[in-house]
Structure formats: structure tokens, C-alpha cells
Amino acid sequence: MTDRIEKTEEEWRAQLSADSYQVAREGGTERPFTGKYTSETTIGTYRCICCELPLFRSNAKFESGCGWPSFFEPLEGANLIELSDTTHGMTRTEIRCRRCDAHLGHVFNDGPPPTGLRYCINSVCLDLEPDSGD
């Protein structure tokens, strides 16, 4: 378990863009095919926009066609929380960051091997740290 980060809503608003705040702190969703990481192919580590916790590696990213960055597995020890989400007349599994409780997206059982999972994550909740060239 990683150290928990808690901030006031004012502190989160000061740290995040309006779009990142609306999605990560208020549970919103960015419009499909608009996120900066939807088609990104840079090799690196995707981190939580709120607390910088490493969440996914680029080698687990795949093109799902859903309009959001998709990963077939998180980093080992990424400490994601799964919650039941029954909004919008559906039952889904919401993914949150264990360190800061940021809403990241959802996970579905329609992904590729080896896991069969599709972590559908909002770009505005991620920050890509490219691998260094050394």
C-alpha cells in the first residue's frame, strides 16, 4: 500500500486543469477520441495526473477502437481500486487510484490476451513519462 494523498477541493482545483479536475475528482468522462493519449505510441510509463503514481506501461497499451486509451493490464503493484458503478443504467467496474482516489475510468472483460481485460482510461487522468534515451 502506498501513502495516501488527501487534499482539499481547492488544492485539487489549483493543481489540475478544469478537464482533469472534472474527470478525476468529480467522476466525469472525457469525450471519446479527444484525449491526447488515445493514439499515443511513445514508450514510457503512464502516471496518475493527481499524485504521479505509476499505473500502466506503454507495452500494455493497445488500440481498442473505443475512443480512450486502453491497457490490458496495470503495472504490478499499481494499487488500483475497483468499485461497482451503476450509473447511466449500466453495471460497470470503475477504476480509481488507491493513493489519491482519482477516478481514472473503467475496466471491461473484452480486452486482448493475455488478460482479456480492457482498462479504458481517460487521457486527462494520465501523465506519460517517456523512457529516457540512455
**Active site residues per annotation:** 120
Q: What is the spatial distance between Cα 28 and Cα 85, in angstroms, rounded to a whole number?
A: 12
Give one DSSP letter per residue of 38-106, joined into a string: TT----EEEEETTT--EEEEGGGEE--SSSS-EES-PPTT--EEEEEE-GGG--EEEEEETTT--EEEE
Is it true that the peptide bond before 130 is cis, omega within 30 degrees of 0? no
Of 48, 40, 44, 45, which is closest to residue 105 (Cα–Cα)?
Answer: 48
Residue written as cell 480492457? 118
